[in-house]
Structure formats: C-alpha cells, structure tokens
Amino acid sequence: MPRPVARGGDAVSERFVRQERLPQVGAEGQARLAASRVAIVGCGATGSHLAAILGRSGVGSAAGGADGGLLRLIDRDVVELSNLPRQTLFTAADVEAVRPKAEAAADALRAVDPELRVEPAVTDLVADNAQALLGDVDLVLDGTDNFPTRMLVNDLCVRDGTPFVYCGVVGIEGQLLVVRPGGPCLRCYVPELPAPGALPTCDTAGVLGSVVSLVASLAAGEALKILLGSDDVRDGEVLVVDGWRNDVRAVGLPVDPDCACCGRHDTAFLDRPAAATPTALCGRDAVQLPPTGAPVDLDAAAERLAAEGEVTRTRFLVRVDTPDRRVLLFADGRVIVGDTKDASEARSVRARLLGE
C-alpha cells in the first residue's frame, strides 16, 4: 500500500478540495491516492470509465512527489467509431487519427490534469510481459473483454498479493468482484475458462452504455477504498448489477480451498507463453493475429502496402484500407484484420498483404 506523502501546492489543494472534505478521504487520504500506482488492463468501455474516475480522483498525481504514483493504461487496440457511444475518453478525432486507445486515453486525462502521471502501454497483455506491466503496482483493475486475460491477471495478482478488481458488462448486466489476499479469487468464481460460445458477449448480446458507467463507478469506488486503506471494501462477494431494472445483488463467494489458483497455487495462466492463436475481438468484426517474429519496420511496411489501398502511418502502427477491409499492423508484429471473425481468413489476408 502506498505511503502517505506530503501534498503539493495550492493548485493541487484547490483541485481536490471537495474530495478532501470527505471524512473517508481527507488530506492524508488524498496524498495516498497521489502516491498510488495503479494499472488498468484494457481501455475500452469499462476501462475508459475506470481511468477517467481514478485519474480525476488524483490517483498518480504529481502531488505524490518525485517517487509518487502513476496510472498505467494497457490496451492493444485503436479507437473505432463504434466505441464512441460508451467509451468516454475518446472522440471522433481519435478515430480519424487511428489512435491507440491507451495513448488517446492518456492524453485525455492529461488534458484534465496536466500533472497526472499517466503511462500508456500500447500492447497486448500476455504472460511474457505481465510481470513487467503489473509487477510494480499497488492495484490492478479489469477493463478487458475476455476471460483468458482476466485469468492471467488473477493468477499474477494472487501470486504477488496484489489487489485486483474484476468487472465486466454484457447486455444489461454487469458483475464486480474484489480479489484480495486471503479472500476468494476469480478462479473460485470461474474455475475454468468458459468454452467458446458458452457465454454471451457484447457481439451477441450488445451492451448498454449506462450499465457500463454504473458498474465501472462501483468498481472504481472499491478501488479508491482499497487505496485509501478503508475497512469498507466489499470482498468475499460478487456484486451482480441489472442496469435495466436498477437492481444490485450481492452473491456470497466463499474461498474454495481446492481452488487451483489461491488454494493450490497453480498459476497455469501466468506460466503459459504468449498466445500463438488468433483472438476474435469483442465488439468488433475483427481478428487479432499474434506476432510471428521480430518487431516490424513500419516505414517499410507502409511503403509496401501503399499499392493495396489507403495507408495511414502513425508511430504505433500502419493502417491500410483495402477495397474490402481494414487491416492494422502494429510495431510489435500484431495484426488486426477487420471484417471477419474467421481466423483462417484473417491469416490468408495477412499472408497476402505481408507475405507471412
């Protein structure tokens, strides 16, 4: 848990004055938030709301001093037009500029608070980089859209004793679980990866933006309580939110002594190498293909792809809009092929465009 530190100057005091007036926070609590180190995995619907709430609350503010906190935003994708109805930190200009969500979210938060220490990571969180991205933080928040990544985060946080807040929304329902040392973990609740197609997704069931806001706000509230050292954290239960009927239920979740992760200390998801299989992206008609080799020379790729369609080059990626689809090539070698959910088709497109 971050140590309380001296507050910054008058501008910082004025910015957070109403929050500091809360007896649950105060000046000391605000200093704790400033010194906190938090990672948010995924900057989509829930993740962008989480980032906005925590950033505006002063998590990772420069008031934490030279050794203060930070807000690390981890996301693998770019801003799409379909994101804008429910992802609060992005604009149409971000879509036009093909901006990675992590970078666009970081800049949006800096525009709110120029002193905020926000660190974007434009990458896919996998076992190979999880320790580097999550090993130095006080708290991890779930803004992802898939259970393999959640299981990976859960395994690392349970192993290292780092608090983890799981939350997700599909359709009109959301769920929230706080994972802390000694309590139940995500694998007590979901022991194994759900089979493909076993659960509804935002693709199949849609998602209501107001439910996203509600669930993310509840999750951010639990995060703030953890960082402030409050005794009122709601762990040991799953909060189930019906955002259409405005119903919130708490379902007790006991520790499973035979849980593979927190009971038998089996961190199988953390021990797996980076995924070598394609991933269908929730909420998008697209497939992500993992890297096949060394990092990509984006300038050379942009020149080569110019014959295939309209090319947009940024410092993170190359986008090519061919007559029938949009393809993104990232500097780390990942490829996102649009207008398909078929992995074989995505591989064929990559082979045709990139010769792989």
Tell me what the pLDDT averaged over the chain comes to.
90
User: Residue 129 domain-assigned?
Assistant: yes
Residues 94 and 194 in one domain: yes
Q: What is the pLDDT of residue 65?
A: 58
For the segment 263-282, what is each residue's pLDDT rounded down to a tens digit?
999 999 988 765 557 888 87
Check whether 284 has a pLDDT greater than 50.
yes
Spatial distance between the Cα atoms of 344 and 352, rounded to a whole number of angstroms: 12
User: Residue 1 domain-assigned?
Assistant: no
Q: How many CB atoms lie within 10 A of CB 294?
A: 8
Q: What is the pLDDT of residue 195?
A: 73
Higher pLDDT, 311 or 356: 311
User: Residue 99 domain-assigned?
Assistant: yes
Residues 290 and 350 in one domain: yes
Residues 147 and 256 in one domain: yes
In this prediction, residues 73-100 reach a mean pLDDT of 93
Q: Domain holding 331: CATH number?
A: 3.30.310.10
- Residue 292's pLDDT band, with cuts at 50, 70 and 90, is confident
Q: What is the pLDDT of residue 354?
A: 82
Residues 56 and 157 in one domain: yes
Global pTM reads 0.88
User: Residue 122 domain-assigned?
Assistant: yes
Split into its structural domains, the chain has a count of 2
Q: Where is the domain boundary, 271, 298, 318?
A: 271
For the segment 178-198, what is each residue's pLDDT rounded down to a tens digit?
999 999 999 999 999 887 666
Q: Are 288 and 335 in contact (CB under 8 A)?
A: yes
Q: Domain holding 57: CATH number?
A: 3.40.50.720
Range of the domain at 283: 279-354
